[in-house]
Structure 1
C-alpha cells in the first residue's frame, strides 16, 4: 500500500521531525560559578593600582563569566566603586568578598571569600579598610548586625548599595584625592 502524499507534505513532515529532534536534543547546561581566586602578594587593585596585601579590611574580586578574567580590589569600597559604574553594573560576573565573621580584620584570609551578591554589608562604620572607610562584608545578616552594633553603620544587602554608600559622604571626584 502506497500513501499518496504530495512531495511538499513529505518535505514538511521531514522538516518538522528534524526540528523536533534538534530542539529536544540535549539538556541546557548551566555554567558553573568559578571559584574565588587567592589574592597573591603582588596583586594590584583594579581601581587604584595599590598592592592589595598588607592592608586591613575585606577585599573583593570579580571574575568575568565569558573570559574568566579576574579583577581584584583592595577593599569592598573599591569593588563597588567599580561595579556601580554604568559600564559595569550589568556585567554578568561572579563577585566575591571576605566574610569578616570568619577572618581577622587586619589580615583577611582568602578561605573566607563568599558570594558578594548573597552577602550583607555594613556601610558607615568606624572600621577602616585599605582606602579608609569601607563596607564591612558578612555572609550572615546576624553577624553584620552584631558588627554594626559595635562599630556603627547600617546593614545593607548587595542590591541596596549605592555610590553614596561607597563614597562615604564624599563626592566621587574627591575619592581619587585620598591618601593611599
Structure 2
C-alpha cells in the first residue's frame, strides 16, 4: 500500500470511529432520564396523597427499570433514599427548585436532587408538616433560611435523624438557625 492509500484508509477509519463514538453518545443521551411534571391525579408513591393538592417541594425517583416514584414531600423522599432497604437501581432523583417556583403551588423547575441545596428545620410546611426546602443555588437557600429559619445543607449532609417524623428531629426544631 502506498502512502496516499494508507492516509485515505486511515482517515476513513478515524472518521468512522468518530461517527461510532458520536452515535454512542447520542444513544446514551436518549437514555438519560428527564424529570416528569406530575399530572393532576399523580399520587404519592408512599401514601397515595395527590401531589398537586399540597404545598411545598415535590420529588421523584426514576429507577433504571420500571415506573418512577413520586413524593408529595421531601421528608418522604429522604426517608426512602436513606433507607438501607432501598435496593432498586436509581437512574435519577429530582426535586423542585423553590427559588424558582411558588411554595404554595409548586410547578416545574425540577433539579437534580444530588446537586441541590436544602434548608432543614424551617418554619415552612409541606404535605406532611415540617419539610425541607430545595434550591438550585446556595444564595436562594440562604435567603430562604434567613426568612423562614433553618440550616443550609447539601444532599450528602442529610441524615436519617433529620428525616424522622418525631418531634425531636432537626426538621421540627424551630430553634435551628443558619
Give the TM interval when normalised to the shorter protein: 0.7 to 0.9
Aligned to 1:65: 64
CA shift, 1:58, in A, is 0.2
User: 1:12-37: per-residue Cα shift (whole Å, max 9, x none)?
Assistant: xxxxxxxxxxxx9x646545431111
Aligned to 1:79: 77
Q: 1:42-53 residue pairs with structure 2 within 5 A? A: 42-53=41-52
In 2, the alpha carbon distance for the partners of 1:57 and 1:42 equals 17
Structure 2: which 5+ runs fail to align? 1-16, 170-178
- Partner of residue 118 from structure 2, selected from 116, 121, 127: 121
- Partner of residue 141 from structure 1, selected from 138, 142, 156: 138
- Cα separation, partners in 2 of 1:126 and 1:65, compared to 1, 3 Å: same
* Aligned alpha-carbon RMSD (Å): 2.3
CA shift, 1:128, in A, is 0.2
Are the aligned partners of 2:60 and 2:93 in contact in 1 as well (CA < 8 Å)? yes
Which structure 1 residue ranges, 4+ long, deviate > 6 Å from structure 2?
none
TM-score (norm 1): 0.74
In 1, the alpha carbon distance for the partners of 2:87 and 2:129 equals 23
Pick the structure with more helix per residue.
2
Decide which structure has the larger Cα Rg and report it. 1
Are the aligned partners of 1:124 and 1:168 in contact in 2 as well (CA < 8 Å)? no
Are the aligned partners of 1:82 and 1:88 in contact in 2 as well (CA < 8 Å)? yes
Q: Which range moves more in the overlay, 140-149 or 87-96?
A: 87-96
Structure 1: which 5+ runs fail to align? 1-23, 173-180
Q: 1:132-171 residue pairs with structure 2 within 5 A? A: 132-167=129-164, 169-170=166-167
CA shift, 1:41, in A, is 1.2
1:55 paired to 2:39: no
In 2, the alpha carbon distance for the partners of 1:36 and 1:101 equals 18
TM-score (norm 2): 0.74
Are the aligned partners of 2:61 and 2:69 in contact in 1 as well (CA < 8 Å)? yes
Are the aligned partners of 1:98 and 1:114 in contact in 2 as well (CA < 8 Å)? yes
- Cα separation, partners in 2 of 1:89 and 1:136, compared to 1, 3 Å: farther
Are the aligned partners of 2:61 and 2:90 in contact in 1 as well (CA < 8 Å)? no
